[in-house]
């Protein structure tokens, strides 16, 4: 039996094909112009502090102090520290999304689904390693990761590619399994504690994709 598509914050049927669109990591509600400007200013301050001190050392109190506002203002804008970190991830995550949704093949459209899956894993591994401080800090609360719009978009993307390579079966569960391989905390552990290279991890991803998409 074919599994239903996972819920996604941004998808629509068009010309017989499901199209995905860029989705912020933690999309905020519509804000008044002044509130939006204040939020942007707080994010600028938070990004500067994260660059100076490391994302792991970023606190709501430090952002409030550097921005010259009350701590409650920061909490109202982002909910908690994880919400702030997820908002900071928005820009770099959308860069990755643009690459696999609309970029050149084999990562983007107009390449066979298996090639796109193989390229997707390598792109995510290298992207998250480059921004590892922010990803590790933002994903400290593991439960939040799987409910974020960005994760749901990745899940839908991988599920659709799996359906193209091997119709039938529980493609959503297979997609979750594949995405678990790309978890930034696991990749960080394998690189720093186990001494594995990114090239080895990418080769392992390609082998996993080939096994999951093998016919017969």
Average pLDDT in the 156-181 region? 94
**Nearest-10 Cα torsion for 150, 156, 158, 159:** 160
Residue 162 to residue 174: CA distance in whole angstroms: 8
> Does 15 have pLDDT greater than 50?
no
- pLDDT tens track for 103-153: 999 999 999 999 999 999 999 999 999 889 888 888 766 667 788 888 999
**Do 149 and 59 reside in the same domain of the chain?**
no
Residue 144 to residue 82: CA distance in whole angstroms: 8
Average pLDDT in the 192-200 region? 97
**Do 66 and 109 reside in the same domain of the chain?**
no
Residue 22 inside a domain? The answer is no
Residue 21 inside a domain? The answer is no
pLDDT band at residue 16 under the 50/70/90 scheme: very low
**Do 73 and 171 reside in the same domain of the chain?**
no
**Do 107 and 209 reside in the same domain of the chain?**
yes
Instruction: Residue 119: name the closest of 155, 158, 152, 66 by CA.
Output: 158
Counting the structural domains of the chain, the total is 2
**Do 39 and 57 reside in the same domain of the chain?**
yes
Residue 66 inside a domain? The answer is yes
> Does 178 have pLDDT greater than 90?
yes
Q: Is residue 66 exposed (0-12), middle (13-18) or buried (19+ Cβ within 10 Å)?
A: middle
Q: With contact defined as beta carbons under 8 Å apart, do 21 and 102 qualify?
A: no
Look at residue 10 in the predicted model and tell me its pLDDT: 38
Average pLDDT in the 10-24 region? 44
**Do 107 and 73 reside in the same domain of the chain?**
no
**Do 96 and 68 reside in the same domain of the chain?**
no
Can you tell me whether residue 20 is helix, strand or coil?
strand
């Amino acid at each position: 039996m074919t599994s239903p598509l996972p819920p996604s914050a941004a998808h629509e049927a068009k010309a017989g094909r499901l199209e995905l669109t860029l989705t912020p990591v933690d999309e905020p509600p519509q804000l008044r112009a002044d509130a939006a400007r204040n939020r942007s200013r707080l994010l600028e301050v938070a990004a500067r502090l994260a660059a100076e001190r490391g994302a792991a050392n970023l606190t709501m109190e430090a952002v409030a102090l550097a921005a010259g506002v009350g701590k409650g203002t920061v909490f109202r804008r982002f909910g908690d520290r994880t919400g702030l970190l997820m908002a900071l991830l928005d820009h770099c995550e959308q860069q990755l999304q643009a690459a696999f949704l609309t970029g050149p093949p084999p990562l983007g459209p107009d390449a066979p689904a298996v090639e796109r899956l193989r390229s997707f894993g390598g792109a995510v591994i290298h992207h998250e390693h480059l921004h590892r401080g922010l990803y590790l800090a933002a994903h400290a609360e593991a439960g939040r990761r799987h409910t974020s719009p960005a994760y749901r978009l990745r899940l839908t993307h991988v599920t659709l590619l799996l359906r193209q390579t091997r119709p039938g079966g529980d493609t959503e569960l297979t997609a979750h399994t594949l995405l678990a391989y790309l978890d930034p905390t696991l990749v960080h552990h394998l690189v720093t504690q186990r001494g594995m290279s990114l090239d080895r991890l990418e080769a392992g991803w390609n082998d996993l994709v080939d096994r999951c998409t093998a016919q017969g």
